[in-house]
Amino acid sequence: MPRVAQAAPDAQHAVALAFAKADGVNASGAAPDSAAALGHDGAPNIAFFYSKPTDVVVPMLQAYDAVVVAPSTGFHPDDYPLAHTTWVARVDLAHADADSANLSGAFVEQTIAPLAAQGYAGFAFDGIDALLAGAPNDEVRATRAHNVATLIDTVEQRFPNARLIQYGGASLLQQSHPHLYAYVTGSVIRTFDPARKAVVAVPDAQRAATLADARRIHDTFHVPVVSIDFCAATDRACARDTARAARIAGADAGVTPYVTDPSFDTIGVGRIEVMPRRILLVQDRDGTQPLDESPGVRDVATPLNYLGYTVDYADIGKPLPDHVTPDRYAGVVVWVDQTPIADVEAWRQWIRARIGDNVKVVFFSDFGFQMDADTGAALGLTLRDGRPRGPITIVSKDPGIGFEVMPAPDARDADGIEVGDNGTPLLRLKAGDFVYDPVAITPWGGYALSPYTIASLNTIGQERWAIQPIDFLRRALALEPMPMPDTTTENGRRFFMVHVDGDGFASRCEFPGPDFSGQALYDRLFSKYRVPTTLSVIEGEVGPAGLYPKLSPRLEEIARQMFALPNVEIGTHTYSHPFEWEDVQESGQRVKHNIDEGGGDAAFSLNIPGYTFDLDREISGSISYINKRLAPPGKKVKILQWSGNCEPPGIAVRRTYEAGALNINGGDTVITKTADSWTNIAPIGVDKGPGAYQVYAPNQDENVYTDDWQGPFYGFTRVLETFAMTDEPRRFKPIDLYFHMYSGTKIASLRALEQIYEGVLKQSVFPIYTSEYARKVLDWRDYAVARDGDHGWLVRGNGELRELRFPTATTPDLAHSQNVAGYTAAPDGTYIHVAGSSASFDIAQQADAASATQPYVKSASAYLRKFSRGAHSLSFEAGGYYQPNLDLANAQACRVTLDGKAVARRAGTQDVHLDLPAAAGQDIHYHQVEVNCGS
């Protein structure tokens, strides 16, 4: 399966593409992968989107096999390559010189060829009916029809692999049909009346005529027929209902519907409906608070990520986006801590506009405006006058209230808001006859007002959720169950990665034997545990122009030794290890207030003599140093590991991708038995602008567990608590063994690391490299999930991410699936194993004999590629880095071979277990697995 960059014209995705091509991991030529989206009738899914596709829209459009766009918007497909989707240029022939016999040659050279040069691999010819209708007589009409058909012939000859779509012009089909990818007919259920500027119902007679023509075209010319119907842009229910009605009405005629808005500015609904996976999170940050430390990132993003949604951030104090529509966003979440807001009326109107557009809105802490009667009525809320008097008692309480702590009701928090008959109070309080609802689900979303959000436990310096945020957000945003891409797991096994920051590489060991920490780690860990490992150094600590020029020869020797290990990939920990990244402005210059305060450069980074901060020196410069002086032949730096507070501005993240490297670190996941709160679980990452997605480390390093390296130095063993608490009952994170080079200086810290390694490797894990995890995160952000019919699903990505988590216990219908290798039951749902960059499947509604007996991959700590499923068989290649193995279900009575040799059964087991030879290093050797269950 090809692994290509997708969904953004930036270095971020180019890096993922470059590494994918270089590594070849997961690469597969599986034929079913390219056909996974096609319906049972083989008809393609085609979208029509005439506005300029944005970075929000493109990832969703990849669910379609082809997308017709308007080149006049300036959209260039070369900037947005997609693995499965063809960009088709809409070409309007309404005013073409169709009376000229030279139409084909001139038009192809002047119009079609330039579009092909921009990356368009298909052409949709519109305006044909208008062109023919404008002919003065039958002879001219016939000439025009012939010339247009000849044009289509010529385009096909000049660009033989192009996908050609014809709008109308049924009289041309006798000549043009052999070249067509699809034919576009009229509306079936709802059409747009330009005279009335309104969407109207298609008259019965017109519908019957359209379907009759479609049936003739489908049956005679065997060309897929697409109808285009219309609904208001923000009326998703209309689009869904219209698509279903058109699908039913056009079933016998072979019509595939597509429903959009009259401006073609909506991700429409056809046979498939792409589900929005983005949430807009709006908060009232002050000008000094870094995005990483805001409540939206620190607290709300994690439950949203767990639910499968990626987060875009906006600040109330800045211009807010207008194009927040239900086809693009699953909802808006608001966190307001500071009131009043500067332009409260603009904020009020923006919120009401989103609700008017049928976008669900959820408020945390505060609304951001004083609830008046008018706004309350618009939101279906009742306002009570006065204040509560006397003790406050609980009238009713949802089980999700008091999740980690239950704040005591306080009259000062009583806003006097009560939900109407259409709402559901999750917490209702009263004092006498004063009744109010501080937490509720409403028709437009919901709210949880302070203090029933996150409560501060000041005596111990911790926080707790007062509401179960996952269930609350799911209910308030009306999020329906669907398979969501998952970054924690592949083939049912939890990821395990190791990455080490370079801090302390020049520190001497405090025990006999090795001289420096890096040598101790090499001797006792890196050369012993041959799991995939990412190691980094700080150039300013190791290099000859850094802090320790006399030690540099020995330190570089150790670094070369480490980087030469076959199971080690190389990272950089920057040049001078900046501590306070917020001092770096979006211009790339450093704010020097630390120096002005007398702190000197040491307050900002390592105080390297003669060095003045330079962003490129930190990133591309340190990468170049490592590649030239420390990396063995054939290896290069793959990832930058953020230093200090790990809060880089967008420009630093962007420069990292531009330098050809991925990135990781930040986030601070530190949940333990004594800090048992979901507020201590960080999100997957944070978007800091176009091409600047920062990937957070799945877990925090040993510094946190050892009281900032003050001791106890064996304290890192408590990370095993974190690994367990982020696994069950909900798997929030993969296992990330993340530490610093200074852990090699002490016996206690070394023994702690050995204990962690041993503890993790006793578990059923899937070892991967940190760069692979980072690439999976980028794929997760843009992954497309689409409903296909009533029970079916279609998913597409760039091939890095291979696991879906369905939130309920369910079973995919394997007998009617494409590229689904298997599934695994889990405490928080079902993991579904995707065997390519695209897959389609139904959710089994009842026991199906054919599906129930299908052999499948139950779990595997190996990558799968070239997967195919027969009626009673499986065939695929499998390989992994460290002790790879897999378990097959429903294969007890089957013949199973590994590289042509029969696999012996293990006595007393229900599954068939296969141990695979491990890769020697980073290059995986794949092994052929065949499962034949035929009679």
- Please tell me the predicted confidence (pLDDT) of residue 21: 52
Rounded CA-CA distance 95/16 in Å is: 43
Structure tokens at 779: 């794929």
- Please tell me the predicted confidence (pLDDT) of residue 18: 63
- Please tell me the predicted confidence (pLDDT) of residue 891: 93
Q: Where does 630-746 have alpha helices with state H?
A: 650-658, 702-705, 719-725
- Please tell me the predicted confidence (pLDDT) of residue 37: 45
Going by the DSSP 8-state scheme, the letter that residue 919 receives in this structure is: P
What's the first-to-final CA gap in the chain, in angstroms?
31
Paired sense of beta strands 803-806 and 484-485, if any: antiparallel
DSSP string, 221-245: H---EEEEEE--TT-HHHHHHHHHH
- Say whether 863 sits in a helix, a strand or coil: strand
- Please tell me the predicted confidence (pLDDT) of residue 601: 65
In Å, the largest CA–CA distance within the chain is 101
Rounded CA-CA distance 32/12 in Å is: 28
Residue 420 has pLDDT above 70, yes or no: yes
List the beta strands (DSSP E) in 599-730. 637-641, 662-664, 685-687, 693-695
Give CA angle at 720 (715, 725), nearest 5°.
Answer: 125
Structure tokens at 442: 């409403």
Task: Note whether 34 and 26 are within 8 A (CB).
Answer: no
Tell me the pLDDT band of 935, cut-offs 50, 70 and 90: low
Please, which residues have CB within 8 angstroms of residue 85's CB and are 6 or more apart in sequence? 61, 62, 63, 64, 65, 66, 67
* Mean pLDDT along residues 406-426: 91
* Mean pLDDT along residues 69-96: 95
- Say whether 259 sits in a helix, a strand or coil: strand
- Please tell me the predicted confidence (pLDDT) of residue 769: 98
Give CA angle at 612 (609, 615), nearest 5°.
Answer: 130
Residue 194 has pLDDT above 80, yes or no: yes
Please, which residues have CB within 8 angstroms of residue 742's CB and are 6 or more apart in sequence? 503, 504, 507, 517, 709, 749
- Please tell me the predicted confidence (pLDDT) of residue 232: 97
Task: Note whether 801 and 487 are within 8 A (CB).
Answer: yes
pLDDT digits (tens, 9 = 90+) for 282-328: 999 877 789 999 999 999 999 999 999 999 999 998 999 989 999 99
CA 554 to chain centre: 43
* Mean pLDDT along residues 102-124: 94
Residue 5 has pLDDT above 80, yes or no: no
Residue 594 has pLDDT above 80, yes or no: no
- Please tell me the predicted confidence (pLDDT) of residue 40: 44
Rounded CA-CA distance 263/192 in Å is: 10
Please, which residues have CB within 8 angstroms of residue 131's CB and are 6 or more apart in sequence? 93, 94, 95, 96, 98, 144, 148
Q: At what angle do helices 770-782 and 11-23 cross, to 10 degrees?
A: 130
Q: Between 4 and 128, where is the model more confident? A: 128
Rounded CA-CA distance 419/401 in Å is: 17
CA 779 to chain centre: 5
- Say whether 93 sits in a helix, a strand or coil: coil
- Please tell me the predicted confidence (pLDDT) of residue 858: 97
765 has which bridge partners?
494
pLDDT digits (tens, 9 = 90+) for 864-888: 999 999 989 999 999 999 999 999 9
Residue 709 has pLDDT above 60, yes or no: yes
Rounded CA-CA distance 807/258 in Å is: 29
The H or E element containing residue 562 is: helix 552-563
* Mean pLDDT along residues 351-365: 97
Which of 404, 398, 437 minimizes the C-alpha distance to 419? 437
Structure tokens at 431: 């004092």
Beta sheet of 901-902, edge-to-edge order: 863-870, 873-879, 927-932, 895-898, 901-902
- Say whether 187 sits in a helix, a strand or coil: coil
Task: Note whether 522 and 568 are within 8 A (CB).
Answer: no
- Asked if the peptide bond before residue 340 counts as cis, ω within 30 degrees of 0, the response is yes
Going by the DSSP 8-state scheme, the letter that residue 55 receives in this structure is: T
- Please tell me the predicted confidence (pLDDT) of residue 8: 43
- Say whether 256 sits in a helix, a strand or coil: strand
CA 49 to chain centre: 22
Structure tokens at 140: 């001219």
Q: Where does 630-732 have alpha helices with state H?
A: 650-658, 702-705, 719-725
Tell me the pLDDT band of 24, cut-offs 50, 70 and 90: very low
Structure tokens at 655: 């420069």
Task: Note whether 690 and 8 are within 8 A (CB).
Answer: yes
pLDDT, averaged across the chain: 92
Residue 851 has pLDDT above 90, yes or no: no
- Please tell me the predicted confidence (pLDDT) of residue 7: 37
